[in-house]
Amino acid sequence: MHPIRRFYSALLLCLPLTAVADDVQVAVAANFTAPMQKIAAAFARDTGHRAVLAFGATGKFYAQINNGAPFDVLLAADDQTPQRLESEGQGVAGSRFTYAIGSLVLWSPRADYVDPQGRILAEGDFRHLAVANPKTAPYGAAALQTLERLGLRERLQPRFVQGENIAQTHQFVASGNAELGFVALSQVSEGGRIAQGSAWIVPADQHAPIRQDAQLLEHGKDNPAAQALLDYLKGETAQAVIRDYGYAVE
């Protein structure tokens, strides 16, 4: 056999053994934007698969998935939405798990503005308080629960500036459209510490736990990259990133 023909014959024999990289379409809760971008880069490096990320409010993703959006995996900001999708046949049974437990924080980009006990809510002279839509954003629901527990919800409600999701809520505060607001700790922390401004980290007993569950969706049940991503989220590389952004992991 001619050497060149021998070379191509050998190459063809190798092709079936070559690992095929796949894309996985991932709906990601807005609060998990920064850590997921880092995790996706590491996932691509370590596995060869590519996570294609869309960020937004969990409630809106629920509606999109029910309307046929071709997501393979949901990384929700709560645990109820994945459970609901599974019960309705949109999620693969047995695939749900908690990938992160979130922390709520009252934050301002201004140093020494928000005190570490959150007394500013009752005593401060501010005009606007940013809160995510509680109907679609679990961090917004946690914010309202906190204000209810403090007996301040009715008093402060006229000052609310409502974000569609937690990313928009953070933007309202960062841009100065609201002096302070309830956001996810992951949005304002780095290495477990507040990176800029001042904040009150809301104690966990002030609201229901923010358990964020991952769910393999029916659209992705035959996609090896989808299962690979879920497995990767349970590994130490991903969990180190998750902890670094102020989340707890199980």
| Mean pLDDT for back-to-back runs of 10 residues, the chain (250 residues) | 46 42 94 95 98 94 96 96 97 97 96 96 95 91 97 97 94 97 92 88 94 98 97 97 91
Decide the pairing of beta strands 104-108 and 73-75.
Answer: unpaired
Residue ranges matching CATH 3.40.190.10 in the chain: 21-101+210-244, 103-206
23-59: burial string, b at 16+ Cβ within 10 Å, e else: ebbbbbbbbbbbbbebbbeebeeebebebebebbbbb
pLDDT at 12: 38
Q: Does domain 21-101+210-244 have CATH number 3.40.50.720?
A: no
pLDDT at 85: 97
- The CATH superfamily holding the domain 103-206 is Periplasmic binding protein-like II (3.40.190.10)
User: CA-to-CA distance for 41 and 228, rounded, in angstroms?
Assistant: 14
pLDDT at 11: 39
pLDDT at 14: 45
pLDDT at 189: 87
Q: What is the pTM of this model?
A: 0.80
pLDDT at 1: 52
Question: Rounded to 10 degrees, what is the CA torsion of 168, 147, 201, 34?
Answer: -20
